[in-house]
Amino acid sequence: MINTKALYNTLLSDSRITSLVNSNSILNSYPNEFENFPCIVFVDENQSDTEYYENRPGASLCTVMIHIFTKKLAGFVTSTEIALAVADVMHDDLWNCSQNRELSDPDPDTEHRVMMFNKSIFELK
């Protein structure tokens, strides 16, 4: 099994992302209330065994869902700008983007984009 939260924290701490989103606003779970915008929330969607060696799992298919929240107000970076930076970082690490879409938000001043990435990670020992 892979410590995916640590992996996602490392990827999302890339300066291309933290230049747009404060590192304190990159979260691994939903807060009770969103206070700081822009904000990224990543959720470990799945980690399943995919390859076996000597009756032990040797690879995992990891899937992460990344939620991007920002404001539609002057002075805020757009969700598209953040999504482009996230995609660059994830693609550089060979993650496949399987979903990228805008969601409507109850607050008309909030942009919400969802991205999903997956990758097989081999744990050869």
Report the CATH number at residue 22: 3.30.2000
Domain hosting 51: range is: 4-122
What's the number of domains the chain is made of?
1
**Rounded CA separation 112/95 (Å):** 21
Local confidence pLDDT in tens for the 125 residues of the chain: 778 888 898 999 999 999 999 999 999 999 998 889 999 999 999 988 887 777 777 788 999 999 999 999 999 999 999 999 999 999 999 999 999 999 998 889 999 999 999 999 887 55
For residue 77, the number of C-alpha atoms closer than 13 Å in the C-beta half-sphere is 22
